Chain A
Amino acid sequence: MNQQTWVTRYASWVVNHPWWVMMLAILVVMAVASGAKHLTFSNSYRVFFSADNPQLLAFDALEKSYTKNDNVIFILTPKDGDVVTDSTLKVIQQLTTDAWQMPYSTRVDSITNFQHTEAFEDDLIVQDLVMEGEVLDQAARDKIRRVALQEPQLLYKLISAKSDVTGVNVTLQLPGIDPVTEVPEVVNFTRELAQQYRDQYPDIEIRLSGLVFMDNAFAEASQNDMKFLMPISFGLMLIMLALMLKGFSSIVATVLVVFGSIVAGMGGGGHLGYPITPPSSVAPPIILTVAIANSVHILVSFLSQMRLGMEKRLAMVESLRINMSPVFLASITTALGFLSLNFSDVPPFNHLGNMAAIGVVMSFFLSMTLLPALMSVLPVRVKVDKNGQSGSVVMARLGDFVVRQRRWLIWTMTAIILILIANIPRNELNDVFVHYFDESIQFRADSDYLDQHLGGLYSIDYSLRASDIGGVSEPAFLNELESFAQWYRSQPEVKHVNTLTDIMKRLNKNMHGDDPAFYLQPDSRNLAAQYLLLYEMSLPYGLDLNNQLNVDKSATRFTVNTHILSSNELLELEQRAAQWLSDNSQAIATDGGSGTSVMFAHIGQRNIQSMLIGTTLALIMISIILIFALRSFKIGMISLIPNLVPAAMGFGLWGILVGEVGLSLSIVAGMTLGIVVDDTVHFLSKYLRARREKGLNPEDAVRYAFTNVGYALVTTSVVLVSGFLVLAFSNFYLNAGMGMLTALVILFALIADFLLLPPLLMKLEEKRR
């Protein structure tokens, strides 16, 4: 055939000019890999949202009208179990002052600098709840405790109900010019400050949380994955290669191909300006895993030709002749599968897909250039055994079994597949974003602690609008606001509600000589507006109302802190609140809840919808390629079954075993599609070669395919499954879950290719006869 002479000529040229080829290959790798210098570890939760994500836009608008939400919280737990002691209050006071030194800080809130207001005759006294230098006798401490625990702005926000845990909350305005340095700057400052206090006050435990620490945890998770997963993958690869190839030169050549593919994938990402995020940080082990296969296919053929007594260079030419088109097909389909991730609404998955695709393409290129060139100069010693079978005995037996049991196999496999498919609906789309990080990441442990004792990291933010400028002072608005706050406070998920009405009630009481009967909303708009004016005039720097009121006082920010909730629970709570508002309010207008938690709650749903399109498109393209490559419409369509069934089986078993599908699992179907296709392609191309070139009947063609490619498929599947299982060690749940499900799907793909595809082929051909 024309194409084969072309391949043969190319292969001969490569093995005869190895040094030139190697140099060229290395130059290409270096050009692509040079982009690696642009790579940075992203440390912002915002990278998970595309620029046009509606929840992100809404949140940005809210932060622009009020103030930014970025924060750091020090969680202080005195070992004597009481926060309101002379010594601990002094520490809180000092920490409040010192925390002002944090880079980008705009506000520091603690129980000590809380602006307590009280009336004394016609005086309104506005001062820190714990005054500097104040001697705190029993009476003073009792008062502080009483005020703090009765103050809705403090209880569950900055002090626990048992007054055994307290928080010092620092609000930050990160300029966002260079997030790569800004977040670590804050984190390092905070950790040093905390350590200083731990050393100085060993009787107080200090934990750290807040959005900036979450941002940082993303970077730490990526770095951990890079640091720990890569060596495991690499070690595993060496073991596998040693078992499969049994030759030093082959192993060296494969390692070089894999290494080149990885640096190209990462460097390509750098050229494209991608940051490293937890999802894209697993690109190296993924590239490694899928890149091995190409080299292994070529080397296994090469070595078996040599074993049959062929000269080294001729053996390589023959191996390329046999393998170039299936390896090319496998690479292009794998790359397409990864490219389908571009449809994801979550940019880090786009990055992962493109980096992996570049790596896969590079591994094909290197397998066709560097690998044969290297092998032709490296020493290769093989025991010649001219009578030896080129295939495996075990595989021949398996082929026989499948041919004989084909009817029984079709029905059993169909039954198993249907049962698993029936369980797909058991998967519930659900995510707990704080739990993306496992307990080995300090942020997770500290945030769980925060969640148990104070209002946690989860919040729903509202901008609640009144009818006109200054309208927040309208009694109708304030009364509805108060009812809304009370409704939220009665919900079991809710820990804390921050509302303007708490300030209003307090001021109204203060202005009526601290008479508790006036702990109500002011009854006229003018009065409320004048209270606000008065209160604003008396607040110190950084503790103003800008975080709760917009400039023309036509809207107020309303913040609900909840327990750590799953995305479904959070959306459901927000839905209930929306319902309550539509049933009960006339004066309040709102675009609904917003904030980090809400954004993460929506993203899973959005991602599934966008990935559904991406996966379908990849499936169509891959199928068209297969139809052309296999030169048969019918066989191409048949191949759809073993290509689709593994993902369906994987999700079905996942539904039985786990039942929750998070953000990252929606990319598995598209991504694995390109990988599982490879098995099908290899099997079908051998089958068709036997039918067309050797004129074998379907049964013998199946046997031929098993004998010739069965072993290679098992080994590559073992490599892939174990490679993706390595990701299960990630301390970032999105990666761990994705790795496990992918491994499962690849395993099912092998089973489908061995036990379902051959019986289907034979059944099809039976009908034709």
Chain B
Amino acid sequence: MIKWSTLLLSLLLSTTVLAETPQQRGLAIATAADTADNGWGDSSATMVMTLRNRQGDTTQRKIRNRQLEVKGDGDKSLTIFDSPNDVKGTAFLSHTHATRADDQWLYLPALKRVKRIASNNKSGPFMGSEFAYEDITSQELAKYTYSWLKDEIYDGRESHVIERIPTYKHSGYTKQIVWIDTTMLQPLKIDFYDRKGALLKTLTSHEYQQYKEKFWRPGRMEMVNHNNGKSTTLSWTDYKFGNGFSKRDFDKNSLKRIR
């Protein structure tokens, strides 16, 4: 199984060598990365979010996250807030889509109701952090157009450097530059450029671990906003795959049952 995917991968990579245009090569690398991460089925993890402002004040949020892989569309994700206390039990369900607005529902325990959020926006800050919602949702291939820039050593690792341009009209970015590790095929660093083409934020991913001998997941993500000097750290623990989640666990009606 592993051998098979490696074979496919090297096949893809070898075609990229033959391919002449940077666009083709960029797409090939992105496709390879997408393929390499295919088939994880479902996952769950716990996340601690640490927010820091320019003054150096910090605050923490605790979140559980469940995901379901969807072939041919964006993945489904469920986010449950454990702290701060006043939002404990709030659950956020999202069916992501690459090039159109996501379907989003929020369960508010204080109101005991599920509300659908009808909005084009994915670019706002997630829980007041420096991460936009679009930064942490599933990275579908169709979300961007790609262009290979160069290969270089980043942080001691062989990396492909590709530029990707969001296809979604309401994205907060004009482009991203991604350093993809050539062996893990996972991003090590992403530079985000804002609407005027200026560098806005940088995301670096650290402490990658491989699960089920295939899927690489970061243990820590650092987002720095160059504009306002704020930063956010996401620390991931308890990655679990094969939880046996089904579509029913990710529909609107499931929200109220969440614990």
Contact = CB atoms under 8 A, between A and B. Distances in A.
Given A534-B108, A537-B133, A67 B118 contact: no
Given A122-B114, A173-B227, A527-B111, A541 B55 contact: no
A524 B111 CA distance: 10
A538 B119 contact: yes
B106 A534 contact: yes
Measured as residues with beta carbon below 8 angstroms from the partner, the interface class of chain B is 35 or more
A525 interface: yes
Contacts of A126: 117-119, 121
A542 B86 CA distance: 25
Interface string A497-520: 000000000000001000000000
Contacts of A173: 227-228
A539 B230 CA distance: 19
B104 A537 contact: yes
A125 interface: yes
Interface stretch (A4-12, A212-220, A545-553): A545-553
A100 B104 CA distance: 27
A530 B81 CA distance: 10
Contacts of B128: 536, 544-546, 549, 551, 553
B117 A537 contact: yes
Interface residues of A, number: 50
B110 interface: yes
A543 B196 CA distance: 16
Nearest to B227: A173
Interface stretch (B46-54, B145-153, B175-183): B46-54
Interface string B193-224: 01110100000000000000000000000000
Contacts of B104: 537-538
Nearest to B107: A530
A531 to B, nearest CB: 8
B207 to A, nearest CB: 24
A552 B49 CA distance: 12
A473 B85 CA distance: 12
Given A469-B84, A524-B110, A551-B52, A127 B120 contact: yes
Given A124-B115, A173-B228, A537 B108 contact: no
Nearest to B88: A526
A537 B110 contact: no
Nearest to A540: B121
Given A106-B227, A524-B110, A527-B111, A537 B118 contact: no
A124 B53 contact: no
Given A123-B118, A526-B110, A536-B128, A551 B87 contact: no
B242 interface: no
A100 B119 contact: no
Interface string A122-157: 111111000000000000000000000000000000
B253 to A, nearest CB: 12
B123 interface: yes
A669 to B, nearest CB: 41
A483 interface: no
Contact of A540 (B51, B170, B198): B170
A694 interface: no
B58 interface: yes
A105 B104 CA distance: 29
Contact of A64 (B53, B92, B121, B227): B53
B127 interface: yes
Interface in B89-130: 90, 92, 104, 106, 108-111, 113-121, 123-128
Given A64-B53, A101-B195, A552-B51, A473 B86 contact: yes
Nearest to B129: A551
B22 interface: no
B61 to A, nearest CB: 10
Contacts of A531: 108
A537 B113 contact: no
Contacts of A100: 194-196
B33 to A, nearest CB: 25
Contacts of B111: 511, 527, 530
A102 interface: yes
Given A530-B110, A551-B59, A540 B195 contact: no
Contacts of B58: 551-552
Contacts of B57: 65, 550-552
Contact of A124 (B109, B116, B173): B116
Interface string A88-106: 0000000000001111111
Contacts of B173: 541
Contacts of A65: 53-55, 57
Contacts of A543: 124
B228 A530 contact: no
B41 interface: no
Given A540-B123, A545-B128, A106 B196 contact: no
A530 B229 CA distance: 27
Interface in A636-685: none
Contacts of A68: 228
A252 interface: no
A551 B57 CA distance: 8
Contact of B86 (A106, A530, A536, A549): A530
A524 B127 CA distance: 20
Contact of B84 (A64, A125, A127, A470): A470
Given A106-B228, A123-B116, A526-B110, 16 more contacts: A64-B53, A100-B195, A102-B196, A103-B196, A526-B86, A530-B90, A533-B90, A533-B106, A533-B127, A536-B125, A537-B92, A539-B121, A541-B173, A544-B124, A546-B125, A553-B59
- Report the 10 A-B pairs with minimum CB-CB distance, sorted nearest first: A541-B172, A552-B59, A541-B123, A529-B86, A527-B110, A539-B124, A540-B121, A526-B110, A126-B119, A64-B54
Interface of B: 51-55, 57-59, 81, 84-87, 90, 92, 104, 106, 108-111, 113-121, 123-128, 132-133, 170, 172-173, 194-196, 198, 227-230
11 contacts: A64-B54, A103-B198, A122-B116, A469-B59, A511-B113, A530-B110, A536-B128, A537-B106, A546-B230, A552-B51, A553-B59
